[in-house]
């Protein structure tokens, strides 16, 4: 039973962390390698919220706004000229990630920062006591997933975004302001990533390099998932599940590389990954 | 510490040297991890070395000569250490190396030390058994740190132990020793698990811990981030077993807040040591560094004492000649914040160990003191 909960909550956390990256990759076909840095920015929003003595939950909206605003500036100044050159965009965002990490180091120092826990303690589910926060993370992942489904399927912005995914020149010819839609999508992606950074704080230490260890995992998951949130959810469940199983029954050291190895294998067998699902 | 203030301090030390009627300074090389993994702790190490040098120079120096620090960044690793040691030993021609470094940096530096024939006092606790005629160590090894913790947990009634660590030399070395010590005292290891140093997901390990029926756990992760991550996830999962942490220092415990409460630590230095020497040391640090002060710790205090041990050795030998200094280093002692230190045991030092428990507010209270714990057989051939 613990194993089952470990699997779904691990998948939920992976989903939360990768959702922002997928939003940007799915619509804009840009791999945002500054993803880890946005996670870090979000976590430091939690540090700032705590430093101001505010309710720790306020860090969530604060991080979303901060991430979106900074993302907007980034899109305008760095990413926009590079949409036609995805490889250069990887380099540019990778560099941006390093710059953001260094700025955070300058401002807050290298030390590990302390944040107040959003939720602590355990809860009785299915006959065992389990971390309350991980159960909450599961709920948060569902909210984010359903929220995105609604955004894409139920709103004007989502409709336009899907039009851009399918055929951008045609969408533009039909009068859609694709530049603005790209900007909004990028902002939502970075805002969501910063939000994920806050959600990570009860699980990891907060320091200037904290995002890096999550970057590769989310990158792999997004490569496998393509542009579909459903596929991302499946990828998180399958790979997160495999990670927990390998960690539990073989070795946690091998568990740490499960996601990367399985993603590479899946992409080798089928270049579309889970996107067809 | 910021670089300009570092340069300023080094310069001020050199200016102070001018009072010594143009006597040649004795140069102390300090290769230390100003960047990389050790960068969090390195500034406190540099500060305590600076205080020792300032105090000694104010009191007339060593054999009438002032001390001068030459600080070099070893980037916390092997490649950086090779450059730092090379430049200190062969270009700056230092008389001695005194430094707190990672094991990787120490191992990379040792061949250069042997080639340059310079005494080298290593001031970081480490996994033990690094032996070289030029190397002396005034910090603890597993034989000194682990037994106080296990003895205490045994006395509390724990029999089944679970070990968790980061997958690297220090993490595995400490837990290997913990395993053999627990087993030799009649305890049982019900699980031993590792995660890579940059690993962040302890989920599976925590579930195993909960299922194992362990009565106590001992962890030895890499310092800083992995330590905090593991502790947060343990607390999130509701684990409240007696929890001994071999890798947490007072400062990190403080920043972890309530999550750290109850953690047992074993160290040769905690700020709360109640002695005149420790009080004088802490006051002098505060006076010298003010707001810039990094909290003195189990890595920075041995650095301070090592400078004094070197001073005592040079005075006893009557010169800075490497051979003469090495011959008398095991014989000299210094009474500092940690008590009286003498590197008399196969180039290692018997140390008084303090078993501390972290409180709700992050402060560390000494639960038990273990006098002059022996480092054991570290280098029987030296």
Residues B205 and B278 in one domain: no
* Confidence label for B17 from pLDDT (cuts 50, 70 and 90): very low
B9 shares its domain with B128: yes
CB of A244 within 8 Å of a chain B CB? The answer is yes
Give dist(CA A23, CA A186) in Å, integer: 8
Residue B19: pLDDT above 70? no
CA angle A205, A207, A211 (to 5 degrees): 85
B241 shares a domain with B205: yes
Does the distance separating the beta carbons of B257 and A252 come in below 8 Å? Answer: no
CB burial class (10 A; 0-12, 13-18, 19+) of residue B287?
exposed
pLDDT at residue B249 tops 90: no
Mean of pLDDT over chain B: 90
Q: What is the mean pLDDT of residues B191-219?
A: 91
Q: Are B95 and B194 found together in one domain? A: no
The parent domain of residue B324 ranges over 3-140+273-349
- pLDDT tens readout for residues B319-373: 999 999 999 999 999 999 999 999 999 999 999 999 999 988 878 889 999 999 9
Looking at residues B114-131, what average pLDDT do you find?
94
CA A82 → CA A32, A69, A74, A78, A85, distances in Å? 12, 19, 12, 7, 5
DSSP string, B215-254: SEEEEEPPTTHHHHHHHHHHHHTT--S-EEESS--HHHHH
Write down the pLDDT at residue B251.
Answer: 74
Asked, for residue B242, whether it belongs to a domain, the answer is yes
pLDDT, tens digit, for every residue of A92-106? 999 999 999 999 989
Is residue B151 classed exposed, middle or buried when 0-12, 13-18 and 19+ CB atoms within 10 A define those classes?
A: middle
Q: Residue B147's domain is classified under what CATH number?
A: 3.40.50.2300
Residue B21 pLDDT greater than 60, yes or no: no
| B241-257 mean pLDDT | 83
Residue B378 lies in a domain: no
Check whether residue B261 and residue B344 sit in a common domain: no
The interface residues of chain A toward chain B in range 63-122, judged by CB-CB distance below 8 A, are 110-114, 117, 120-122
Output the pLDDT for position A276: 59
CA–CA dist B265, B302 (Å, integer): 18
The count of structural domains within chain B is 2
pLDDT of the residue at B98: 97
Q: What is the C-alpha separation between B266 and B269, in angstroms, rounded?
A: 9
List A128's β-bridge partners, or say none: A125
pTM exceeds 0.90, yes or no: no
What is the number of other CB atoms lying within 10 angstroms of the CB of residue B56?
Answer: 18
Residue B380: inside a domain? no
Same domain, B126 and B199: no
**Cβ–Cβ < 8 Å for B221, B230:** yes
Residue of B91, B8, B37, B30 lying closest to B304 (CA atoms): B30
Q: Is residue B231 part of a domain?
A: yes
Q: Does domain A2-269 have CATH number 3.10.450?
A: no
Strands B216-220 and B188-195: unpaired
Q: Are residues B283 and B148 in the same domain?
A: no
Instruction: Check A6 against B203: CB less than 8 A apart.
Output: yes
Contacts of B195 in chain A (CB under 8 A): 252-253, 256
Q: Is B174 found in the same domain as B116? A: no
Please list, in sequence order, all residues whose beta carbon lies within 8 angstroms of the beta carbon of residue A183, skipping any fewer than 6 positions away. A72, A75, A76, A80
pLDDT at B36 over 80: no
Contacts with B3 from chain A: Cβ below 8 Å: none
User: Computed from CA positions of residues A85, A87, A90, A95, in that sequence, does the dihedral angle turn out positive or negative?
Assistant: negative
φ, ψ (nearest 5 deg) of residue A87: -65, -45
- Phi, psi for B352 (deg, rounded to 5): -80, 125
SS3 of B300, please?
coil
Q: Are residues B344 and B359 in the same domain?
A: no
Contacts 24+ apart (CB under 8 A), B87-92: B88/B29, B88/B31, B89/B29, B89/B113, B89/B115, B89/B116, B89/B118, B90/B116, B92/B27, B92/B29
**Strands B188-195, B26-32: parallel, antiparallel or unpaired by DSSP?**
unpaired
A241-245 long-range Cβ contacts below 8 angstroms, 24+ apart = A241/A7, A241/A10, A241/A11, A243/A10, A243/B201, A244/A3, A244/A6, A244/A7, A244/A10, A244/B203, A244/B204, A245/A3, A245/A7
Same domain, B132 and B149: no
Quick check: B12 pLDDT over 60?
Answer: no
pLDDT by residue for chain A (277 residues), tens digit each? 888 899 999 999 999 999 999 989 888 888 889 999 999 999 999 999 988 888 889 999 999 999 999 999 999 998 888 888 888 999 999 999 999 999 998 998 877 787 877 887 888 887 888 889 999 999 999 999 999 888 888 888 888 888 888 888 898 888 888 888 889 999 999 999 999 999 999 888 888 888 888 888 899 899 888 878 888 999 999 999 999 999 999 988 888 888 888 888 888 887 777 765 4
Per the domain annotation, does B382 fall within a domain? Answer: no
Residues B188 and B248 in one domain: yes
Q: Which of A248 and B223 is assigned the larger pLDDT?
A: A248
A114/B256 touch (CB, cutoff 8 Å), yes or no? yes
Same domain, B63 and B119: yes
The continuous run of DSSP H or E covering B171 comes out as helix B169-184
- Residues of A within 8 A of B194 (CB-CB) are 252-253
């Amino acid at each position: 039973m613990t194993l089952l909960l470990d699997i779904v909550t691990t998948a939920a956390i992976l989903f939360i962390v990768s959702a922002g990256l997928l939003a940007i990759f799915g619509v804009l076909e840009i791999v945002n390698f500054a993803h880890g840095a946005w996670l870090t920015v979000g976590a430091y929003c939690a540090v700032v919220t705590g430093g101001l003595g505010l309710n720790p939950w306020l860090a969530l909206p604060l991080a979303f706004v901060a991430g979106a605003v900074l993302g907007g500036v980034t899109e305008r100044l760095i990413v926009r000229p590079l949409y036609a050159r995805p490889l250069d965009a990887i380099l540019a965002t990778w560099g941006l990630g390093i710059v953001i990490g260094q700025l955070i180091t300058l401002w807050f120092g290298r030390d590990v920062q302390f944040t107040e826990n959003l939720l602590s303690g355990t809860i009785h589910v299915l006959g065992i006591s389990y971390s309350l926060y991980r159960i909450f993370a599961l709920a948060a992942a569902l909210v984010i997933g359903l929220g995105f489904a609604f955004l894409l399927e139920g709103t004007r912005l989502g409709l336009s975004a899907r039009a851009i995914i399918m055929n951008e020149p045609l969408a533009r010819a039909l009068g859609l302001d694709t530049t603005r839609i790209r900007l909004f999508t990028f902002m939502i992606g970075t805002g969501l990533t910063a939000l994920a950074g806050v959600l990570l704080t009860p699980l990891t230490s907060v320091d200037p390099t904290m995002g890096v260890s999550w970057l590769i995992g989310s990158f792999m998951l997004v490569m496998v998932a393509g542009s579909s949130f459903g596929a991302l959810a499946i990828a998180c469940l399958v790979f997160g599940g495999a990670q927990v199983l390998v960690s539990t029954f073989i070795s946690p050291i091998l568990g740490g590389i499960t996601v990367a190895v399985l993603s590479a294998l899946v992409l080798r067998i089928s270049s579309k990954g889970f996107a067809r699902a | 510490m910021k670089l300009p203030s570092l340069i300023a301090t080094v310069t001020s030390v050199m200016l102070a040297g001018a009072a010594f009627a143009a006597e040649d300074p004795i140069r102390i090389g300090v290769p230390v991890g100003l960047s990389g993994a050790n960068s969090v702790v390195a500034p406190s190490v540099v500060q305590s070395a600076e205080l020792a040098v300032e105090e000694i120079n104010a009191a007339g120096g060593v054999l009438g000569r002032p001390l001068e620090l030459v600080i070099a960044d070893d980037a916390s690793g092997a490649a950086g250490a090779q450059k730092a040691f090379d430049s200190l030993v062969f270009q700056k021609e230092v008389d001695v190396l005194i430094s707190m470094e990672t094991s990787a940096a120490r191992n990379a530096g040792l061949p250069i030390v042997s080639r340059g024939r310079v005494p080298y006092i290593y001031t970081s606790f480490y996994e033990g058994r690094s032996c070289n005629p030029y190397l002396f160590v005034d910090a603890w090894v597993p034989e000194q740190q682990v037994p106080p913790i296990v003895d205490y947990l045994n006395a509390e009634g724990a029999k089944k132990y679970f070990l968790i660590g980061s997958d690297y030399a220090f993490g595995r070395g400490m837990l290997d020793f913990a395993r053999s010590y627990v087993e030799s005292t009649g305890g049982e290891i019900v699980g031993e698990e590792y995660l890579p140093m940059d690993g962040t997901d302890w989920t599976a390990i925590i579930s195993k811990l909960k299922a194992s029926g362990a009565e106590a756990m001992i962890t030895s992760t890499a310092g800083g981030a992995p330590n905090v991550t593991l502790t947060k996830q343990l607390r999130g999962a509701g684990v409240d077993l007696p929890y001994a942490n071999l890798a947490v220092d007072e400062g990190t415990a403080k920043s972890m807040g309530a999550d750290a409460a109850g953690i047992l630590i074993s160290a040769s230095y905690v700020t709360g040591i109640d002695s005149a020497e420790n009080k004088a040391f802490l006051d002098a640090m505060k006076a010298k560094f003010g707001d810039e002060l990094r909290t003195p710790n189990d890595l920075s205090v041995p650095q301070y004492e090592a400078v004094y041990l070197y001073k005592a050795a040079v005075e006893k030998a009557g010169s800075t000649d490497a051979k003469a200094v090495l011959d008398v280093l095991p014989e000299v002692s210094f009474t500092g914040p940690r008590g009286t230190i003498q590197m008399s045991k196969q180039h290692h030092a018997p140390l008084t160990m303090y078993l501390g428990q972290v409180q709700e507010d992050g402060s560390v209270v000494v639960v038990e003191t273990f006098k002059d714990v022996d480092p054991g057989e570290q280098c029987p051939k030296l």
